[in-house]
Amino acid sequence: MAEFSIIEHYFKRTSNTDVSLGIGDDSAIITPPSSQQLVICADTLVAGRHFPLDTAARAIGWKSVAVNLSDLAAMGAKPHSILLALSLPSVDHDWLAGFSQGLFDCCDQFGVSLIGGDTTQSTQLTISVTALGWIEQGQAITRAGAQVGDYICVSGQIGDAAFGLQHLGHPLQQRLDYPTPRCHLGQQLKGLASSMIDISDGLAQDLGHILKASNVGAKLQLEQLPLDASLKQLDLQQAWHYALAGGDDYELCFTISPQNFEELSRQQLDVPLTIIGEITQQTGLLFEYMGKAHPLHVHGYQHFA
């Protein structure tokens, strides 16, 4: 099957009404909303590196979209559309059917259109997605706004995906294969959160990016980490390793003033939030357990290792 036949059969669908020109030409054309800024991100998934080789095609399709929408959520942006670059070792129609189903399942759930991209042959399965979203002028939440005294919060549970990767077949594998980008929460945090990041490479490492960008420090309370019951049954050190260094959770980690957190808590939220620590003046990341210092050495996911 030729490249354009693959695109026509598996990936061409009607786009959002504000897409003036979608799949079928050299480039897509979008009409930008008034007084909005364009937010753009890209992620690449490589077979055997970012997902096990036997991962279901539908899960790969879902995740390739979800991880990008999570980056948009981390800035408070509303997702709009994606571009897909797909490198295939061969044309496997069953795989393509499952992959495109997962991709569009995620797109449909979050109101996103596939508006273009590229397909080619390669020795290794590689999926690159570029996601586009909109946010009101000057409202983007970056990593650089954390203030001393802010709460440090996370959405949902952390460590699930890392546990699922090490225990394939366990129910938590679902959290590894089908992460939920917190798009609605990200938009609710506009004007409230002082900084934000999504947890892709491990909480400790990703929070460290906020601390560096904001030139502040943090103190985390280990007993406050929101863990699944399966992790709570483990040795504490192992559970903390999954939560702090495992990655692939795609939950949001954000900082927020106590006053703004009170305002946020009065809103209807679609995911639980947990206060896990506080921003400090002294730089660096410190850990406490039950009120006492508890030094830990944790490292997140390394893209070159």
% of the chain exceeding 90 in pLDDT: 74
200 annotated as belonging to a binding site for a ligand: yes
Q: Are 122 and 159 part of one and the same domain? A: no
User: CA-to-CA distance for 60 and 101, rounded, in angstroms?
Assistant: 10
43 annotated as belonging to a binding site for a ligand: yes
Residues 178-189 have a mean pLDDT of: 98
94 annotated as belonging to a binding site for a ligand: no
CATH number assigned to the domain comprising residue 24: 3.30.1330.10
117 annotated as belonging to a binding site for a ligand: yes
Say yes or no to pLDDT of 148 above 90: yes
270 annotated as belonging to a binding site for a ligand: no
Question: Is 46 inside a domain boundary?
Answer: yes
Of 17-26, 120-129, 143-152, 219-228, the poorest mean pLDDT is in: 17-26
Say yes or no to pLDDT of 300 above 60: no
178 annotated as belonging to a binding site for a ligand: no
Question: Is 144 inside a domain boundary?
Answer: no
248 annotated as belonging to a binding site for a ligand: yes
Question: Is 127 inside a domain boundary?
Answer: yes
Tell me the whole-structure pTM to 2 decimals: 0.91
Nearest to 74 by CA among 47, 107, 41: 41
247 annotated as belonging to a binding site for a ligand: no
Residues 118-146 have a mean pLDDT of: 93
Question: Is 70 inside a domain boundary?
Answer: yes
Per-residue pLDDT at 81: 95
263-287 confidence digits (pLDDT tens) = 999 999 999 999 999 999 988 999 9
> Domain containing 99: what range?
3-136
CATH number assigned to the domain comprising residue 163: 3.90.650.10
Query: Could you identify the residue written with the tokens 């938590």?
Result: 172
**C-beta neighbour count of 14 within 10 angstroms:** 9
Q: Are 132 and 164 part of one and the same domain? A: no
Question: Is 245 inside a domain boundary?
Answer: yes
Q: Band of the pLDDT at 304, cuts 50, 70, 90?
A: very low
241 annotated as belonging to a binding site for a ligand: no
201 annotated as belonging to a binding site for a ligand: yes
Counted domains in the chain: 2
Last residue in a domain, options 81, 110, 136: 136
Q: Is beta strand 284-289 parallel, antiparallel or unpaired with respect to 193-198?
A: unpaired
Q: Under 8 Å CB-to-CB from 5, ≥6 apart: which residues?
A: none
Question: Is 299 inside a domain boundary?
Answer: no
% of the chain exceeding 70 in pLDDT: 91
Of 50-64, 99-113, 146-160, the poorest mean pLDDT is in: 50-64
Q: Are 113 and 237 part of one and the same domain? A: no
Question: Is 205 inside a domain boundary?
Answer: yes
Say yes or no to pLDDT of 303 above 50: no
Per-residue pLDDT at 117: 86
Q: Are 98 and 123 part of one and the same domain? A: yes
